[in-house]
Structure 1
Amino acid sequence: MKNGGVFILNKQLVIQTDFGTCDGAVSAMYGVAVSVDPTLRISDLTHEIPQYNIWEASYRLYQTISYWPEETVFVSVVDPGVGSERRSIAVKTATNHYIITPDNGTLTHIKESVGIIEARIIDEHENCLPQTGNSYTFYGRDLYAYTSARLAANILSFEEIGATVPVESIVELPKKRASLQDQTVVGNIDILDVRFGNLWTNIDEDLFKQLEVTYGDLCEVTIENDARQVYKHVMTFGRSFADTHVGEPLLYINSLYTIGVAINQGSFAKAYHIGAGAQWKITVRKVSPGILS
């Protein structure tokens, strides 16, 4: 965009939804953004968030955001409460990225693991797509795509979006921290690596290494769903999937430097009917050689 004879480079705009791509919803959001500024650089984070799954939307933002340039604008629309009293919010992260989203828990992982330094309520009267009529069911197009595109195109400053609100007031989903208890690491299955069926936990590499585990060691892994045991077995801690035979399970450090659970060339999630979220508990303990239980 040109401002007073000086060209200002537009920010990146990255879009995430649970809309899928089988109809025109995502295309409509693109259309609004391009109508704001045809030179915008727009990318998709994903449109395959399971319907209404705010937890997964939160995690996918956390998984992705730090790999984008500073000042990238993210818009995330997983909004089962669209048209209700839930707030629409814009935030600036500690990594100098912007997120436009419903204030419904979508910022849970960002707030805890990345950090939010400023939050503003989106003024829905000032920032809504003109001539949208009386429809209150497609804020993704009419409010979020329009506002995020104007922010990315430097038409609207972050300060002009709306009034500031305390960062502490941002809605968060229940989220437990991993811990070390009696030489056992206890955590949760945060998310599934959907395409391959691997389990990604909230046990980070540093916490896991307090078990004094090295590559090739055996660990006993127990998985529970609301206190009901679903899985218990001994497996190898490996560098990669090639450290076990095809069809065998293993522990590994995933791309976010947390502990993952996988089956070499198989889907762990499908094999044992395992999901993700706060109710899915995982415990890991090192097994001494010759002592399997």
Structure 2
Amino acid sequence: MNSHLILQSDFGISDGAVSAMYGVAISVNPSLKVYDLTHDIPQYNIWEASYRLYQTISYWPEESVFVSVVDPGVGSERRSIVVKTAKNQYIVTPDNGTLTHIKESIGIVKARMIDETVNRLPNSGESYTFHGRDVYAFTGARLASNIITFEQVGPEVPVDSIIELPKTNASIEQGSLQGNIDILDVRFGNLWTNIDRTLFKKLDVDYGDSFEVTIENDTRQVYKNIMTYGRSFADSHLGEPLLFVNSLDKIGVAINQGSFAKAYHIETGAQWKISIRKAPKTI
């Protein structure tokens, strides 16, 4: 029985790159079912590739095979690997930090380096700029089709040798939550933080409570205002900001029917910091 093959990249769909990956996969096995996670990762943005895997992978069945190709180091000495997660799924990817969130949040139990003498598209040996097609889609399709086993991917490598991007954890101190803007809900412009709902609840919160929210980029304050914590966007008026729990059980920041990110020119990453403090009740 075939597993699912799910593709992610920063290629976009304006040319034939993604179609070529599909073609390779289906040539390996015409009955293989191939799906897209996304191909709209910003160019070279390894952090976002890592986050989108984390956002998605838990909702796919065991044995699913993910191919993630955001690879600014293509053709260099960086490793090509396949990992097995603690939930019995596989990810085929360059070893460049793409597995940061998976390693911390889900767990990786084994890793193998791809043996390109065996697991590479035939007659592609002189090309070094499209490993997504020639190595990753080919290997992923063979693994998902049970043509090769995980052990036949290549030699085992230590899990603790997998490259990780710098990642900070949210914290609470003297009634103030400190975290990062990890990612955007891109289409709607909501901010997704790294602050878990359970940590947020330590502020003794109820729906309708008000909070002082401050957002900084390095040392520059970008935003500071009071907003309400709501169950959903309907708990605020049109155009008002609010705090909410997003689909990954993290705290989000939004404008009701507006883009918070565009309104305040907010981006993501370790330098984008957010603090949340319960505002005093006014009489």
TM-score grouping bracket, smaller chain normalisation: over 0.9
Matched residue, 1:156: 148
Of 39, 44, 49, the match for 2:36: 44
**In the TM superposition, what are the counterparts of 1:1-293 in structure 2 within 5 Å?**
9-290=1-282
CA deviations 1:229-269 (Å, max 9, x no partner) are: 11000000000011111000000000000000000000000
Residue type of the partner of 1:224?
E
Moved over 2 A (4+): none
SS of 1:266's partner is coil
For residues 170 and 262 of structure 1, the distance between their equivalents in structure 2, rounded to whole angstroms, comes to 35
Q: Could you tell me how far 1:133 is from its partner in structure 2?
A: 3.8
SS in 2 for 1:206: helix
Instruction: Supply the distance in 1 between the matched residues of 2:222 and 2:118 (Cα, whole angstroms).
Output: 51
The answer for the alignment partner of 1:3 in structure 2 is none
Number of aligned residues: 283
Quote the Cα distance in structure 2 between the aligned partners of 1:133 and 1:113. 36
How far 1:226 moved relative to its partner?
A: 1.0
Secondary structure of the equivalent of 2:269? coil
Q: Distance in 2 between matches of 1:133 and 1:175?
A: 36
Q: In 2, Cα distance between the equivalents of 1:104 and 1:214?
A: 41
Q: Cα offset for 1:76?
A: 0.2
Q: State the one-letter code of the partner of 1:241.
A: F
Q: What per-residue deviation string (whole Å, max 9, x for no partner) do you get for residues 73-100 of structure 1?
A: 0000000000001100100001111000
Q: How far apart are the structure 1 equivalents of 2:37 and 2:125?
A: 29
Give the CA deviation at 1:131: 0.6
Question: What amino acid sits opposite 1:19 in the alignment?
Answer: F
In 1, the alpha carbon distance for the partners of 2:57 and 2:199 equals 23
Any stretches of 5+ residues in structure 2 without a counterpart? none
Give the share of equivalent positions with the same residue, in percent: 73
Shift of 1:135: 1.1
Q: Separation in 1 of the partners of 2:146 and 2:125?
A: 26
Letter in 1 for 2:161: S
Amino acid at match of 2:23: G
Task: Give the gaps of 5 or more residues in structure 1.
Answer: 1-8
Q: Secondary structure at the match of 1:261?
A: strand
**Which residue of 2 is the match for residue 6 of structure 1?**
none
TM-score by length of 2: 0.99
| TM-score of the pair, normalised by structure 1 | 0.96
String of CA shifts for 1:197-256, please: whole Å, max 9, x gaps.
000000000000000111000000000111211100000000001111100000000000
Paired residue type of 1:104: N
What is the CA distance between 1:288 and its match in structure 2?
Answer: 1.9
The CA RMSD over aligned residues, in Å, is: 0.8
- 2:191 & 2:125 partners in 1: Cα distance? 44
Describe the SS at the equivalent of 2:201.
Answer: helix
